[in-house]
Structure 1
Amino acid sequence: MQEFLNWTVDTIREDRLISPWLEEKKYEWTPLVSKNIHNLLERGFSIIVVTDKEREWFLEYILGNINSTKLNRPFLPYYDFKSFYRYIDTIKSDEDISYIKDMLSISFPNGYCFWYIGRSQDVRAVIPKVSKNSFLWLFDEEKQDAFNLKSSDEALDMKLLQMFRLYNKSVSASLFAEINVEN
């Protein structure tokens, strides 16, 4: 079983579809992905995916590929937040957040965490940013315990696709005991 950081670097270098920019961010990337995969596979959490409006295409891409039969692995619990609460853009108060969290706690008794991709100041970021265990890919804010990107980056869409590719490979490698995300 390979150590996760080394496996990540090797995978970035070997996969011609993942650019070297991600290797430069390996110390930001590996702890966040490790925590997310641990929550998914070891703690039995469901992953609730949320994006800002501009990244809804990416949400569809994630959900269309995360459980692809081509991966030859069990289907994993990834869900679109809008399928639980369609009024995501109208969340205004702490009371709204509390009601939504109560609903999700009932729906996911083993636990859940958010995977948010988008602008930090978007209304859709509010719940993931205040929730424990969130996996955050934030734009235009330098936040600790988040993978920080710039929305003005011309290569942003390509970077998101590369990040997803590496993430998906990490999930498979962990699931098949090729890596240990604990280390």
Structure 2
Amino acid sequence: MRLFDQWTLDAIRAEGAPMSWFEEQRFDWIPQIINAMDQIMSGRTIVLVCDHDRQWFSHYILDTINKKLKERPLIPIASLDALYPHLNRLDDVDGMDTLIDMLDLSFKGEYFFWYIGKGGDERRSDIVKRSDNALMWMMDENYPNALSLRSYDSHIDIKLLQLYRLFDRTLAAVLFGEIDVHA
């Protein structure tokens, strides 16, 4: 099996010049993806959370991750907005505690957050930041163990799609035993 770091670099380079921006950032990516792949392989459900400006991306991920043409096992994934439609009205710590309790009961603690969006005062990021094992693509904030992006980047939508493509390729390679993320 190939070393995961080298596999990731090769996958980035295979995308060509448009993704060269990510070569250096892969060092922030790799520990997060290892953690996410471990959780997926152990059967945990992904609870997808996006800020308001990235709701389109949430729909895209949910529509594409389990497409039949991928011919792979289905990945358990749910949008937090679908699980709790009143998410936008959540405005205090007690409400967040109650939401986390509901998720813990629903998934028996076998879930992890995947957050894509702004940090700072974004309430949705506050919910995810309470978790130690979240996959975070954080914008406009340098947060520990998060991939840092800039929401004001004129190519942010393209970059998100490129990152998702890399995530999806990694997931397929792990599921089919082509790579070991710990090698």
Give the aligned partner of residue 140 of structure 1. 140
Q: Contact 1:50–1:80 (CA<8 Å) still a contact in 2?
A: yes
Letter in 2 for 1:59: S
Per-residue deviation, residues 95-121 of structure 1 (Å, max 9, x unmatched): 111111111111112511110100102
Give the aligned partner of residue 104 of structure 1. 103
Structure 1, 147-156 or 9-18: larger mean CA deviation: 9-18
Give the aligned partner of residue 3 of structure 2. 3
State how 1:81-160 maps to structure 2 within 5 Å: 81-109=80-108, 111-121=110-120, 122-160=122-160
Give the aligned partner of residue 73 of structure 2. 74
Distance 1:71 1:13 in 2: 22
Distance 1:94 1:7 in 2: 41
Give, in angstroms, the shift of residue 129 of structure 1. Answer: 1.1
Q: Contact 1:120–1:141 (CA<8 Å) still a contact in 2?
A: yes
Give, in angstroms, the shift of residue 132 of structure 1. Answer: 2.1
Q: Contact 2:119–2:139 (CA<8 Å) still a contact in 1?
A: yes
Displaced runs of 4 or more, over 4 A: none
Distance 2:13 2:67 in 1: 24
Give the aligned partner of residue 33 of structure 2. 33
Distance 1:110 1:123, change over 3 A: closer
Give the aligned partner of residue 48 of structure 1. 47
Give the aligned partner of residue 14 of structure 1. 14
The yes-or-no answer on 1:62 pairing with 2:61 is: yes
**TM-score when normalising by structure 2:** 0.95
Structure 1, 119-128 or 153-162: larger mean CA deviation: 119-128
Give, in angstroms, the shift of residue 15 of structure 1. Answer: 2.8
Per-residue deviation, residues 2-48 of structure 1 (Å, max 9, x unmatched): 1111110011112348611111211111111111111111x221000
**TM-score when normalising by structure 1:** 0.95
Distance 1:124 1:101 in 2: 12
Give the aligned partner of residue 174 of structure 2. 174
Per-residue deviation, residues 138-158 of structure 1 (Å, max 9, x unmatched): 110011100001111001000
* Count, aligned residues: 182
Distance 2:160 2:110 in 1: 26
Secondary structure of the residue aligned to 2:182 is: coil
**Identity level (%):** 35
Please tell me the root mean square deviation across aligned C-alpha atoms, in Å.
1.3
**Please, which runs of 5 or more residues in structure 2 have no aligned partner?**
none
Letter in 1 for 2:33: V
Letter in 2 for 1:158: I
Give, in angstroms, the shift of residue 71 of structure 1. Answer: 1.1
